[in-house]
Amino acid sequence: MLLRTYIGFNPDELTNKQDVIINYEIETDVPERVLESDDPSDILDYKIVTKKVVELVQEGRFNLLEVLTKKIVDLLLAEDKVNYVRVEVDKPHALRFAESVSVVMEERKLRSSRMDEVAATEQVRINTAIIGIGSNIDPEDNISKMLSLLGAKVKILKVSSLIKTRPIGITNQSDFTNGAVNVETKLIKEELKNILKKIEDELGRDRNAPKFGPRTIDLDLIVWNGDIIDEEYYSRDFLFRAAF
């Protein structure tokens, strides 16, 4: 796919969208009944997946190709029917004398059996994490409910002060209430991510809504055992200040 987005940190790149070329491979299960019925309802909907990638790229801002590539990988792996992805992102004419610069990443979803193996090796380890919080639909109510649900799964150490921030991308909506929560858990990272996703779903998160649209709750794992794993940490002041 040939798309345009804000990619780079030079002055011109910060104000003008650049071309990026995106190719990805997906491994997905195809049930035997689908091969017999030829019914598309039981397989991965490539149109919806592609639409999500297009929205992520065109509505986002990225300093690094690596960050853009990883976000596409994570987006694709979040689909239940995707087992493995390989993503290549090219930025034409990014360097002088070079036709393009490209980044390639691949990742396989950690299935429950493998998660059990990893969990067994880390069972005695207490992990710490900082989770970014965002809401602009009944934020007081939804953030309160989220903390109750999260507290049933992990030990909450501290909740940051909450601040109002202006929406990005789609500006004709209510301001967001943002903050962060510091937690302690015996869960491994993949298990905690799954729990955050389930909490979002329980509170009515619409995953077909635009990337920067209104939402009941948005939970992002930002820091894991002291390591920053989400680049938004550097660009959102409230996350930076919440690194207790």
Catalytic residue numbers read 205, 215, 218, 220
Helix (H, G, I), strand (E, B) or coil at 104: strand
23/186 Cα distance (integer angstroms) = 37
Q: How many helices (H) and strands (E) does the chain have?
A: 9, 11
180/131 Cα distance (integer angstroms) = 5
- 243 and 208 Cβ atoms separated by less than 8 Å: no
Cβ atoms within 10 A of the Cβ of 71, count?
Answer: 20
What the block records as the tokens of 82 is 């995707």
- 144 and 182 Cβ atoms separated by less than 8 Å: no
- 24 and 72 Cβ atoms separated by less than 8 Å: yes
